[in-house]
Structure 1
Amino acid sequence: MSSAARTWWKEAVVYQIWPRSFQDSNHDGIGDLPGITQRLPYLAQLGINVIWLCPMFSSPNDDMGYDISDYQGIMDEFGTMEDFDTLVETAHSLGIKILLDIVVNHTSDEHEWFKQSRSSRENPYRDYYYWRDSSGIDEDGNPLPPNNWGSEFGGRAWEYDEHTDQWYLHIFSKKQPDLNWENEKVREEIYTMINWWLDKGLDGFRLDAINIISKPEGLPDDPNIDFDKHGSSIPFVVKNGTKVHQWMHELNLKTAANYDVMTVGEMSQTSAEDAVQFAGFDTEELNMIFHFEHMGVDTDPTTGMGKWSIKPYDLVDLKEVLNTWQTTLQGRAWGSLYWNNHDQPRLISRFGDDSPQWRVLSGKMLATTLHGMQGTPYIYQGEEFGMTNVQFEEINDYRDLDSLNLYEDMVVERGNLSHDECMELIYAKGRDNARTPVQWDASDNAGFSAVEPWIKLNPNYREINAASALEDQHSLFYHYQKLIQLRRGELKDLLVYADFVPLDVEDAQVYAYERHAQDGSKLLVISNFTDQQLTREYGLLDQGELVLSNYEDDMRQTLRPYESKMYRVNAL
């Protein structure tokens, strides 16, 4: 396969749904599968043709569904398998495919495999997980963990089990024990489960945290861990392990390769060159990956606080990351395009300007910038009409385990941060920014539910909601709709398959690039990332036909605040 080889998943536009906060249909304050089915006509109107559905499997919800207790069951709060089948059937009737989010680095500690595994050292399921002896005892006679690895959610990555006098590994919550992929039986169980879903008519899957499944031999200490600071990051030594490509190839050959489906892997601390192997056109692993490099441009790595450090992002840094991924993958592998998701702050609050004056304009600018690149674009629920970050005053109003652990660690236990200092970090980087209910209209509970939702609404829902966006022909919604129409229609060759050529990489105010198609046609995309009026000269400006703008007129070389324009130059 080459970059020019045409496939439906390259041409797709994906919409991510986090079910708990999308639409409540049975009046319990929690989003569910029938609620998603209810809103499918809205998504069809937007024009997307793939839904990435975050986990809806049976789960005790320690980490909002990313702790699965039964891979072939539906979470009680979300509905039944019949509801799921109805969702898939209805989506397919509207030309929308369904991509499932599958977590196979770990399970819930309430999964039957783990219940069996922890029952005794001799149990046949013992080796389905990582169990290790203590490394010694401390001065008080307490057992010490097998190594110094830290959990992504803070604290140690090991939990002691008195019953069997061993520790089990959990890179995330202690209720999310890591599966042992070294065990062939584990891998076969996973492949059988994935095929079961594909046989039900699923159109693909997203693999959560998949590049940490291969742990280093001997499980050595991680020299990067610093527990004097908030050590909340996946141990560097478990990223992209020695067997991960072998297992990704095996997974593909035993599952996706036998179906016409789409696969994407979530991979932190993965470079563009790494992605060429994971998502290469001839490597037979995955169709594409999610990387996080651009998600770190507003993070200060010197603090040791991981994502919880804040600094203003520099457009030159952002461009360097995105341009590198575009040019490195070009002709060798396929990429994914996203600005936000269920784990990240809201797009406009982070990279744009969420003030009333500029929210819509900056949102349109950011959408054009991303959708003009090569790769498969993803839209996160509410992004299409401009939902923003939320600022609850009390920590008790938050539900995300990651944020709650930060507060407990840094405010309650250590006293390293004041309440206000910690809340500022959560306001900027907390995952609940993306998890407040979708703001459908200005009615009570924003049309999400007839009762109080499981988490508070963003108070701005009466001004920012889907209904008001649909009533305004100049809204952000219709800008996304136009971008999707161009990508799937008249500009398909340029937006999907043409080469990416960066321009003026050191410009700290404007992001500009070109797309060059094999037939000689070209596309010029220009985005002003500031609230200032600027002037810029580009060679294609005088030749190009304006095909999309977030202003109603065109001043060519003059770029108004947050102005974004797309020009087409036809082949000679």
Structure 2
Amino acid sequence: MSNITRPWWKDAVVYQIYPASFHDSNNDGIGDIPGIIQKLDYIQSLGVEVIWVCPMYASPQIDMGYDISDYEAVHPPYGTVQDMEVLIKETHSRNMKVILDLVINHTSDQHAWFKESQSSKDNPKRDWYIWRPAKYDSEGKRGPPNNWRSFFGGSVWQWDEQTQEYYLHLFCTEQPDINWENEEARKAIYQSAMTSWLEKGVDGFRIDTVNMYSKPMDFPDAPVQDPSTPWQDASLIFCNGPNMDKYLDEMNAILSRYNAMSVGECPATPDRARVIRYVSAEAKKLNMVFQFDSVDVGQSKPSKYDTKPFNYTLADVKGAISRTQSLLDGTDAWTTSFIENHDQARSVSRFGNDSPTFRTRSGKMLSMLFASLSGTLFIYQGQEIGMINMPKDWDIAEYKDIDSQNFYADALARNPGNKAVKDFAKAGLQHLSRDHARTPMQWTAASPNAGFTGDKVKPWMRVNTSAQDGINVKDEDADATSVLNFWRSMLKVRKNHAEVLVHGTFQLVDENNEKVFSFVKTSLDGKDKALLVCNLSDEENRVPEFEGVELAEAMLLLDNPWEGRIYLID
């Protein structure tokens, strides 16, 4: 092991928790903060050092808590501020850390700030949000200021009858964007959303939509890519705007005072140099970002669901991972390794084979793959037991996410009565919907609620029936060959060989192989190498040749016989 002194967050493994779906302590059908506290020993047993709690703030829950009505209060079904203080204390007592979601591109339209802003054009907080007058065509018909498409469909502009102007919302209508050009608004955000929680002891933030705060204030139209709709993808226009560096400097000044970590959600940033400017140690903007190359594989645009399942090649996966790993090549930047979160379908169903025959092997292989990549590793709840997508025969009514609902409704509205379109839309959701990550955590095989909540309670979202097929914590904990125990072993291997697996450089091997993903990791001092071989197919495949090394002479660290092998080469 190295004696190099590094920031604590570089070697950390982070476990993401979605409060509504993790564990219900009071049998009301909704997960809560006391439920998280009850499971801290389990989380610690995985070998992780940090928990990331998704938004638990006061919210109308239009977008599952990413529409915040009060940054300093807790959503009542989840608990209280005092519960959060206990969670922070109990996590720290186990030598783990806590990070929270920081959602500050927008608020809920129920936030007191927006209510004031909306009340009149001369209200002192009017300029805290982005308001613009209508455009009128030659016939006098009112229209929005530009043609930008919301992430959830339709225009980004909502007409306000009371003040006769439009406000901007990149996401839901109920999520108005804050005007970051207003210094007073920024200071209020920093105090209410950041400092108030840092003072309570949180150790950092996952920062939602971190590159969207600075928009071009002339709001130019986006190029027309989809002539069938008036609303066009403008993400390359409103992401990475002119004042982003200034805003991140201000935020980092606060975070640095608390030695707090920052990981930003950074979509629509294909320029490697721009990403490096965000995460360079010298630049002091963000510690790291989530790039979406890997999780975007096989998705469509403008709606990711508008595609057939498994619409990608292994070359696409290799290229995506290579791009995020390359951030470390010759730079002082840092990166992340992840393949699941609250916005993604389950990785075993997307990149493995979730049939009863192969899903355990797939889960182990994906564990080995992503735990061997450089950067800070993030695991999403249920990933460690190999949770899979919802059953294909479930009705569309089981899909609760607003993004899923909007996509399906829009597809049917555009093609009424067309069964082929309906089936295609549902297939896209069955493969990629965010709902798959949001079904309750599977603690036991006990029917009907898998230990998430009481058996006689109806949970807020239906529990995946795969819990009865062995995909649950209790059964896997007792099975030495389970995905869960493989994850525990893999995290020990990652920790014991951090110089090569966490900090090493990445090089593809056998790049053109269409079934096997192989790569070499090399420690920065060049003394240690690891060869990773992952078979992403249902067939047996050979281990590729590795120049200059006889694999029989290599030290076999961990062997998942069918799909994954890792060799440490001295």
TM-score range (shorter-chain normalised) is over 0.9
Conserved 8 A contact 2:211-2:265: yes
- The yes-or-no answer on 1:499 pairing with 2:505 is yes
Normalising by structure 2, report the TM-score.
Answer: 0.93
**Partner residue, 1:410:** 411
**CA spacing shift, 1:566–1:232, aligned 2, 3 Å:** farther
Shift in Å, 1:440 = 0.7
Match of 2:538 in 1: 531
User: Deviation at 1:232?
Assistant: 8.0
Look up the equivalent residue of 1:226 and give its one-letter code. D
Cα gap change, 1:16 to 1:398, in 2 (>3 Å): same
Q: Structure 2: which amino acid aligns with 1:446?
A: A
Distance 2:56 2:113 in 1: 19
Segments of structure 2 that go 5 or more residues without pairing to the other structure are none
The secondary structure found in structure 2 opposite 1:264 is: strand
Partner of residue 557 from structure 2, selected from 538, 547, 559: 547
Q: Tell me if the contact between 2:327 and 2:334 (Cα under 8 Å) persists in the aligned partners.
A: no
What is the CA–CA distance in structure 2 between the aligned matches of 1:268 and 1:290, rounded to whole Å?
8
Conserved in 1, the CA contact under 8 Å of 2:157 and 2:166? yes
1:354-383 per-position Cα deviation (integer Å, ceiling 9, x unaligned)? 011110111111111111111111111101
Alignment of 1:12-31 (within 5 A): 12-31=12-31
* Counterpart contact for 2:306–2:425, Cα < 8 Å: no
Aligned partners of 2:532 and 2:565 also within 8 Å: yes
> SS state of the match for residue 293, structure 1?
coil
- Distance in 2 between the 1:231 and 1:27 partners? 43
CA deviations 1:332-367 (Å, max 9, x no partner) are 211111111100110100000001111011111111
Aligned residue in 2 for 1:434: 437
2:349 aligned partner: 349
1:110, distance to aligned residue in structure 2 (A)? 0.2
Q: CA deviation at 1:22?
A: 0.4
- The counterpart of 1:472, out of the listed 475, 479, 487, is 479
Partner of 2:65: 65
Moved more, 170-179 or 85-94: 85-94
- 1:19-50 CA-to-partner distances (Å, cap 9, x unmatched) read 00000111110000000011111111111111
Tell me the C-alpha RMSD between the 2 structures: 1.9
The equivalent of 1:554 in structure 2 is: none
Letter of the structure 2 residue corresponding to residue 160 of structure 1: W
Give the gaps of 5 or more residues in structure 1: 552-559
Q: How far has the Cα of 1:227 moved from its partner?
A: 6.3
**Among candidates 472, 490, 493, match of residue 483 of structure 1:** 490
Deviates more, 1:478-487 or 1:175-184: 478-487
Q: Is the 8 A contact 1:153 1:233 kept in 2?
A: no
Cα 1:119–1:44 shift into 2, 3 Å? same
State the TM-score, normalized to the length of structure 1.
Answer: 0.93
Is 2:90 the partner of 1:86? no
Choose from 452, 455, 478 the match for 1:448: 452
Partner of 1:308: 306
Q: Residues of 1 paired with 2:138 and 2:36: CA distance? A: 52
Aligned to 2:463: 457
Q: Secondary structure at the match of 2:100?
A: strand
Q: Report the CA distance shift for 1:179/1:392 in structure 2 as closer, same or farther (over 3 A).
A: farther
Label 1:331 to 1:199 Cα distance change in 2 as closer, same or farther (>3 A): farther
Amino acid at match of 1:172: F
Alignment-derived partner of residue 362 in structure 1? 362
In structure 2, what residue type is equivalent to 1:528? N
Whether the 8 Å contact between 2:147 and 2:231 is mirrored in structure 1 is: no
2:177 aligned partner: 178
**233 and 75 in structure 1: CA distance in 2 versus 1, 3 angstrom threshold:** farther
Deviates more, 1:417-426 or 1:148-157: 417-426
Q: Does 1:116 align with 2:126?
A: no
Question: Offset at 1:466?
Answer: 1.0
- Aligned equivalent of 2:202: 202
**More displaced stretch, 177-186 vs 217-226:** 217-226
Q: How does 1:83-482 map to 2 (within 5 A)?
A: 83-137=83-137, 139=139, 142-193=141-192, 194-224=194-224, 226=226, 228=228, 235-253=235-253, 255-271=254-270, 272-301=272-301, 304-310=302-308, 311-332=310-331, 333-390=333-390, 391=392, 393-412=394-413, 414-415=415-416, 418-444=421-447, 445-450=449-454, 451-463=457-469, 464-482=471-489
Q: Pick which of 30-39 and 494-503 moved more.
A: 494-503
1:414 shift after superposition: 4.4
Q: Which amino acid aligns with 2:381?
A: Q
3-state SS of the aligned residue for 1:506? coil
Over 3 Å counting, the alpha-carbon distance change for 1:369 and 1:224 in structure 2 is: farther
1:275 match: secondary structure? helix
Query: Which stretch of the first structure deviates more once superposed, 259-268 or 535-544?
Result: 535-544
Contact map agreement 1:150 1:225 (CA 8 A) in 2: no
Q: Which residue of 2 aligns with 1:56?
A: 56
Q: Structure 1 residues 291 and 231 mapped into 2: Cα distance closer, same or farther (>3 Å)?
A: farther
Residue range with higher mean Cα deviation, 333-342 or 528-537: 528-537
Given that 2:305 and 2:429 are in contact with CA atoms closer than 8 Å, whether structure 1 keeps it comes out as no
How has the CA–CA distance of structure 1 residues 251 and 307 changed in structure 2, closer, same or farther, with 3 Å as cutoff?
A: farther
Would you say the 8 A contact 1:269–1:293 is kept in 2? Answer: no
Measure the CA separation in 2 of the matches of 1:188 and 1:497. 36
* Other structure's SS at 2:10 match: helix
Helix, strand or coil at the partner of 1:497: coil
- Asked if the contact 1:208–1:266 (Cα under 8 Å) also holds between the matched residues in 2, the reply is yes
Number of residue pairs matched by the alignment: 553
The structural deviation recorded for 1:320 is 1.3
Q: In the alignment, residue 530 of structure 1 is paired with which amino acid? A: S
Contact 2:12–2:48 (CA under 8 A) maintained in structure 1: yes
Tell me the distance in 1 between the aligned counterparts of 2:199 and 2:233. 36
Would the alpha carbon gap of residues 300 and 121 (structure 1) be closer, same or farther in structure 2, given more than 3 Å must change?
A: closer
Q: Structure 1 residues 459 and 527, CA, compared in 2 at 3 Å: closer, same or farther?
A: same
Q: Structure 1 136/232 Cα, relative in aligned 2: closer, same or farther at 3 Å? A: closer
Separation in 1, partners of 2:378, 2:401 = 23
Deviation string for 1:508-528 (max 9, x for gaps)? 211111121215121111111
Percentage identity across paired residues of the two chains:
40
CA distance in 2, matches of 1:161, 1:72: 27
> Secondary structure of 2:217's match?
coil
The whole-number CA distance in structure 1 between the counterparts of 2:423 and 2:169 is: 30
